[in-house]
Amino acid sequence: MQRYHCLIIEDEPLAAEVLQDYIRQVPFLELKGVASDAIFAMELMQQQKIDLIFLDIHLPKLKGFDFIRTLKQPPHIIITSAYHEYALQGYEYNVVDYLLKPIEFSRFLMAVNKLKQSPVPAVSITSLMPGPERAYLFFNVSKKKVKVYLDEILYIESLKEYIRIYTKTKNILTKFQLGQIEELLAKNNFLRIHRSFIVAKDKIEAFTATDVEISGKLIPIGRSYKELVQSILEKSAG
């Protein structure tokens, strides 16, 4: 079994303790150090080989993303942050995952298990353009990057390690986790209605207690999502 030597870079003692406890519970992880700032982390990395960093973003002296930019050959990195709005920026650095505090152990386990699934981070988003210009994302499809405007997305379907993104004119298949895209789109016009589906709220043409209709297709509402989805849709329906 491959063991990953871990370094925690976290200036909040309680958050660092939680991560230490989680690491101790995972057989293929081995904690090698805890640093309260990125400068001290650099010293630790010179003393021993580090395979995985749990990195907070808002650090004293040197911010998390600035720290990543200093690394010529960065190890695997999992971002741990209380701020979801930096998720896209994190994925642009090819991080393994982006964990939002407070971090549940099940979510932590999901993130570190990605190390065993593939040596290459599954995330393939390149760019998001906010503001007055139409927001879009680039997704890796085969050997090219395909632009998808967010306002054209009808719904997104999970296919295990992949997702399929549907628009009126095309659909694309890309290696991605539905939970990751859900975090990135949370502030936009999207709603998770099922463990396998995210839909664009403004594209919903009709809905019942069990499904929504988009472009003539019925998409099921999962039982665990039913109450929240119905509340949101009823409110928007007036």
In order of their start, the domains of the chain are 4-117 (3.40.50.2300), 136-237 (2.40.50.1020)
Most confident of 124-138, 144-158, 208-222: 208-222
CA distance 147 to 155: 16
**69-110 pLDDT, tens digit each:** 888 888 999 999 998 877 877 777 778 899 999 999 999 999
* pLDDT, mean of residues 112-125: 58
Higher-scoring residue by pLDDT: 122, 34: 34
**Cα 43 from Cα 206, distance rounded (Å):** 58
Average pLDDT, the chain: 86
pLDDT at 122: 38
Mean pLDDT throughout 173-179?
84
pLDDT tier for residue 205 given thresholds of 50, 70 and 90: very high
